[in-house]
Structure 1
Amino acid sequence: MTATDNEYPKASNATLIGASITYVAGLFLLLSFAGPYWIESYPEMLSSFKHMGLWEYCFDRFRFPSYQFDKLFHGCHYIFSQEFYVIREWLLPGWLMAVQSFVTLAFMLSLISQVILACVIVRWPLRTVLRYEWVLVSAAFVMVTISSVFLFLGVAVFGGNCYRRDWLLYPSFNVLSWSYAFAVIAFIMFGAAAILLYLESRKLYELRLEAKNLVAQMQHSQPEHALHQLRDQLQQQRQWNM
């Protein structure tokens, strides 16, 4: 069984589907992470607050009541920019920093899991993947699961605090927007991918145990009979992966 003959076991359909869902969920998460539309104001309300994301706020000639100087905040700016320095404590309460942390950790873990799954699918490096495939898939399952949990916490905390009256003025003028919706979609898809990856990791672990048992039997049986058993096992594994 050589790599040149293309006879090595390919990634199973469950791994391919789980990885595909992970990649799509990662795209939704990327758009949510970078998008400035977690919450926005209704256009007909003509509010001075326009919209915001995890890292950006947009205002239209906004005057902060507690600021002693008559300064108007206008346009879209990075939350850590000099423009928002004087009101950053108001713009970035503790619960919003927690949301930023949850989503950032989920984003980083999802990227790592996507790299691992890509290596498993393309079988690179070949010897490492064939030997430790169940470990790699299990690691990807853990990371995807944690990403889903972190995203759930992020959207739950944001959804439960975004209408607080000590944050944005006139919260009844605002509505959750598409960046928030993408985060919700991402955590659901990560959860679905985690289920598939968990089932696949269990199957790979069981196949590894069966292979170990066959190797142990080879020491107590005739070589030709043991080779036939091993060949049958490899053919069965190849059929499952197709």
Structure 2
Amino acid sequence: MTANNEYPKASNATLIGASITYIGGLFLLLSFAGPYWIESYSEMFSPFKHMGLWEYCFDRFRFPSFQYDKLFHGCHYIFSEEYYVIREWLLPGWLMAVQAFVTLALILSLTAQVLLACVIVRWPLRTVLCYEWIFVSSAFAMVAISSAFLFLAVAIFGGNCYRRSWLLYPSFNVLSWSYAFAVIAFILFGLAAILLFLEARKLYELRLEAKNLVAQMQHSQPEHALHQLRDQLQQQQQLTYYRH
């Protein structure tokens, strides 16, 4: 074993929790960018086709309350000039709350993924070895909050998407894959948060044990303390080896 590989590697719990977080982040990214949170049944020939958090698609749609004879056609960004006159109808307050929750969840999950990547690759090495429990604890908090935000987002959207004051003919519409991906991301982040919490607690307990060991060394003879430290470190390494 070379000197570069003598430092302790990340535990299996951290690796599994990080992997689940990365998969959940992929689902969240696809949901965030996907224009298929809700769509109309193709058999109904509805002028509304589908929409995402940031895009609406219509097929020669005429808004009843708009006094000019204008048809909205094609897919456009929700903040584009095309939808300026009907933006208040397209973007009710509850949908803006969904956008905010999903955006915050994406930012937090990406930050957690960066922290977990640093823990796994051990970079920067000295900082990660000294503060690994802080890295994992911070990642746990961010992933758990992301899961909570996504739960609120899917609950709010699912409870309001069939309002008759929003899209016309709501009975013609059905929740689609972008919404399903947000639900999957919420579940995966919840599972990852549980694993990261358990690992953060274990790392914190190991840190307390190390502090107690240093305190015992200060009240012991130097040679006896050195042998005691060596024996305890060997025992910890053996326990870590058998755990992995």
TM-score bin (small chain): over 0.9
Per the alignment, residue 102 of structure 2 pairs with: 103
1:176-215 equivalent positions in 2, closer than 5 A: 176-215=175-214
1:73-152 equivalent positions in 2, closer than 5 A: 73-152=72-151
Q: Deviations over 1:166-187 (max 9, x none)?
A: 0000000000000000000000
Distance 1:89 1:188 in 2: 32
Go from structure 1 to structure 2 and tell me whether the alpha carbon gap of 1:207 and 1:73 turns closer, same or farther (over 3 Å shift): same
Per the alignment, residue 15 of structure 1 pairs with: 14
Offset of residue 148 of structure 1? 0.2
Distance 1:98 1:154 in 2: 7
Go from structure 1 to structure 2 and tell me whether the alpha carbon gap of 1:14 and 1:54 turns closer, same or farther (over 3 Å shift): same
Aligned length: 241
Letter in 2 for 1:48: P
Alignment partner of 2:39: what SS? strand
Unaligned runs of 5+ in 2: none
Indicate if the aligned counterparts of 1:29 and 1:107 stay in contact, CA closer than 8 A. Answer: yes
Q: Deviations over 1:25-56 (max 9, x none)?
A: 00000000000000000000000000000000
Offset of residue 229 of structure 1? 3.4
Per the alignment, residue 27 of structure 1 pairs with: 26
Alignment partner of 2:3: what SS? coil
Per the alignment, residue 154 of structure 1 pairs with: 153
Q: Which moved more, 1:179-188 or 1:232-241?
A: 232-241
Go from structure 1 to structure 2 and tell me whether the alpha carbon gap of 1:100 and 1:233 turns closer, same or farther (over 3 Å shift): farther
Aligned residues: CA RMSD: 1.5
Letter in 2 for 1:40: E
Go from structure 1 to structure 2 and tell me whether the alpha carbon gap of 1:64 and 1:21 turns closer, same or farther (over 3 Å shift): same
Distance 1:184 1:46 in 2: 28
Per the alignment, residue 241 of structure 2 pairs with: 239
Letter in 1 for 2:31: S
- TM value normalised by structure 1: 0.96
Letter in 2 for 1:76: C
Alignment partner of 1:75: what SS? strand
Per the alignment, residue 36 of structure 1 pairs with: 35
Offset of residue 233 of structure 1? 3.8
Alignment partner of 1:60: what SS? strand
Per the alignment, residue 220 of structure 1 pairs with: 219
Go from structure 1 to structure 2 and tell me whether the alpha carbon gap of 1:23 and 1:233 turns closer, same or farther (over 3 Å shift): farther
Distance 2:152 2:229 in 1: 47
Distance 1:100 1:23 in 2: 21
Q: Deviations over 1:42-100 (max 9, x none)?
A: 00000000000000000000000000000000000000000000000000000000000
Offset of residue 5 of structure 1? 3.7
Distance 1:240 1:204 in 2: 17
Go from structure 1 to structure 2 and tell me whether the alpha carbon gap of 1:214 and 1:73 turns closer, same or farther (over 3 Å shift): same
Moved over 2 A (4+): 2-5, 222-235, 237-242
Unaligned runs of 5+ in 1: none
Alignment partner of 2:59: what SS? strand
- TM value normalised by structure 2: 0.95
Offset of residue 239 of structure 1? 2.2
Offset of residue 195 of structure 1? 0.3
Offset of residue 219 of structure 1? 1.1
Distance 1:234 1:198 in 2: 25
Distance 1:69 1:112 in 2: 47
Distance 1:36 1:215 in 2: 57
Offset of residue 3 of structure 1? 8.3
